[in-house]
């Protein structure tokens, strides 16, 4: 489990297709502190560490990515490429502060950036969610976008808006975005269960 509070920005160093897709990601996390088999959320996708180490380019870890994960996220269609910066978060440990909301790292689908409007020092971004997921997104509710816990400002059909303050843009990859970018979307687990209960009239 994760909280959606980004703790590092990784850089994709290498991508290799050999059965599954393997990625090597540069990180500021000390390699000796990363256990083989540990879970790290990479742009919101929970991935398992298969190797780690350091060299003259810095610390790194490897992850294997299944075809299913590629198909459900922005990892496909050139979404991940060498040199791309990605949001990283290590798995929640007992006693850690829950600063965002409960995030599983299981991406539900991909949203698209359809508008970007500066508001003072902040940036208002409008996303378009896949229709089957839009009903789970509510004004003032939570979503995880590229692994970042965010509050929804408004909802209009499949479109929803989020405001990014300067701090968020600086400590995550949200300062790198552009119109048309495809973004990993994980809906709030609570919203999913509330909707499921409503189907049964509970």
Residue 160's alpha-carbon distances to 104, 138, 142, in angstroms, are: 21, 8, 11
Q: Where are the beta strands (DSSP E) in the chain?
A: 8-18, 20-27, 39-42, 45-55, 58-65, 85-90, 109-119, 122-128, 142-145, 148-151, 154-156, 159-164, 182-187
Q: 121 and 187 share a domain?
A: yes
3-state secondary structure of 56: coil
How far is Cα 143 from Cα 141, in angstroms, rounded to an integer?
7
Q: Which of 61, 90, 119 is the last residue of a domain?
A: 90
**pTM for this one?**
0.91
State the pLDDT at residue 1: 80
**pLDDT for res 96:** 60
Residues 177, 156: Cα–Cα separation, whole Å: 22
Number of structural domains, the chain?
A: 2
* Low pLDDT (below 70) residues in the chain: 94-100, 191-202
140 and 86 both lie in a single domain? no
SS3 36: coil
- Residue 3: its pLDDT value, please? 87
Does 99 reside within a domain? no
Range of the domain at 27: 8-90
Residue 50: the pLDDT is 97
Whether residues 22 and 83 share a domain: the answer is yes
Mean model confidence pLDDT for the chain = 91
Contact 46, 2 (CB under 8 A): yes
């Amino acid at each position: 489990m994760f909280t959606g509070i980004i703790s590092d920005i990784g850089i994709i160093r290498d991508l290799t297709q050999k059965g599954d897709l393997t990625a090597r990601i540069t990180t500021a996390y000390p390699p000796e502190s990363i256990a083989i088999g540990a879970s790290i959320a990479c742009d919101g996708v929970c991935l398992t560490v298969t190797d780690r180490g350091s060299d003259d380019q810095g610390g790194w870890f490897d992850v294997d990515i299944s075809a299913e994960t590629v198909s459900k996220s922005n990892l496909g269609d050139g979404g991940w490429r060498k040199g791309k910066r990605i949001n990283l978060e290590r798995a929640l440990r007992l006693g850690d502060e829950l600063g965002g909301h409960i995030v599983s790292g299981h991406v539900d689908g991909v949203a698209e950036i359809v508008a970007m409007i500066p508001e003072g020092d902040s940036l208002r971004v409008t996303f378009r969610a896949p229709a089957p997921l839009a009903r789970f997104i509510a004004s003032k509710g939570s979503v995880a976008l590229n692994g970042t816990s965010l509050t929804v400002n408004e909802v209009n059909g499949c479109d929803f808006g989020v405001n990014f303050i300067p701090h968020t843009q600086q400590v995550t990859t949200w300062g790198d975005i552009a119109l048309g970018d495809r973004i990993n979307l994980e809906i709030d687990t609570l919203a999913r269960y509330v909707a499921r209960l409503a189907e049964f009239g509970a």
